[in-house]
């Protein structure tokens, strides 16, 4: 059975020309995948359900950004699939964590056929029970900033869309913290980023000790109430 290539045509650096280039490079590497479009979590669940019915242990290649990869990871049954990523997003943090610097580099690694187990974080509690994340999860202002990014701004401004969302969130930010308890420590925070990976938003190394290949999570806590401190 050929691998499945899931492409998000709404990803940050996607274009029809890039799609053609991607398929050509895969073919040159001896890889002829079954191509399916995935534009969001709902479509990812539908597509991945079809894949898992057709193949017991599928090989899934995701050509998209970190949001697309996260949607696919949440749609696949844990432990059943082999996943490969090709950087076609805005920040491509997971690709950077894996040292994949280009499409050609990612395709070369796929052709080599090496694989490795990685860990994911799981959110428990009301609202998003069982939601998995491979990079990070934000609580407080950070979560609001990511949630507030507008699609058309992201297409136009790329990473600048996150800065614009941050400015909007800071302007209407109601100061008020929460208490965080972890590993016997209690800390008052205004925002926290739960990290399964070292990088954040691109090449910014937020938690150097974090790794998707280790089963521990790292916490990055922001305790300041000063808006300038966030910027």
**Domains of the chain with CATH codes:** 4-112 (3.40.50.10330), 121-230 (no CATH)
Please, which residues have CB within 8 angstroms of residue 128's CB and are 6 or more apart in sequence?
none
Q: What's residue 214's pLDDT?
A: 94
pLDDT band at 165 (very low <50, low <70, confident <90, very high): confident
Q: What's residue 227's pLDDT?
A: 66
Per-residue pLDDT tens over the stretch 97-145:
999 999 999 999 999 999 999 999 998 876 656 889 999 998 887 778 8
Sheet of strand 136-140: strand arrangement: 136-140, 191-195, 218-222
| Cα separation, 102 vs 95, whole angstroms | 9
Please determine, for residue 49, whether its predicted confidence score (pLDDT) is greater than 90.
Answer: yes
Mean pLDDT value across the chain: 88
pTM, two decimals, is 0.87
Please determine, for residue 174, whether its predicted confidence score (pLDDT) is greater than 80.
Answer: no
What does the longest C-alpha to C-alpha distance in the chain come to? Answer: 55
Whole-number percent of the chain with pLDDT over 90 = 58
What are the C-alpha distances in Å from 10 to residues 37, 83, 107, 150?
10, 20, 21, 13
Q: What's residue 132's pLDDT?
A: 94
Q: Average the pLDDT over each of 42-46, 67-71, 110-114, 160-164 and give the range with the smallest value.
A: 160-164
pLDDT band at 46 (very low <50, low <70, confident <90, very high): very high
Please, which residues have CB within 8 angstroms of residue 22's CB and are 6 or more apart in sequence?
7, 63, 86, 88, 103
């Amino acid at each position: 059975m050929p691998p499945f290539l899931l492409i998000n045509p709404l990803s940050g650096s996607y274009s029809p020309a890039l799609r053609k280039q991607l398929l050509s490079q895969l073919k040159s590497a001896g890889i002829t995948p079954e191509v399916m479009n995935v534009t969001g979590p709902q479509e990812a669940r539908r597509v991945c359900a079809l894949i898992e019915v057709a193949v017991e242990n599928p090989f899934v290649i995701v050509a998209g950004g970190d949001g697309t990869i996260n949607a696919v990871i949440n749609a696949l049954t844990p432990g059943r699939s082999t996943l490969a990523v090709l950087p076609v997003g805005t920040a491509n943090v997971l690709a950077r964590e894996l040292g994949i610097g280009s499409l050609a580099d990612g395709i070369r690694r796929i052709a080599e056929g090496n694989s490795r187990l990685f860990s994911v974080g799981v959110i428990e509690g009301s609202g998003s029970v069982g939601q998995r994340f491979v990079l990070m999860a934000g609580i407080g202002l950070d979560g609001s900033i990511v949630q507030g990014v507008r699609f058309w701004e992201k297409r136009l401004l790329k990473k600048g869309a996150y800065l614009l969302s941050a400015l909007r969130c800071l302007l209407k930010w109601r100061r008020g913290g929460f208490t965080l308890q972890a590993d016997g420590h209690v800390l008052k925070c205004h925002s926290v980023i739960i990290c399964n990976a070292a990088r954040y938003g691109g090449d910014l190394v937020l938690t150097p000790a974090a790794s998707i290949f280790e089963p521990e999570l790292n916490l990055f806590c922001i305790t300041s109430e000063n808006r300038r401190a966030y910027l």
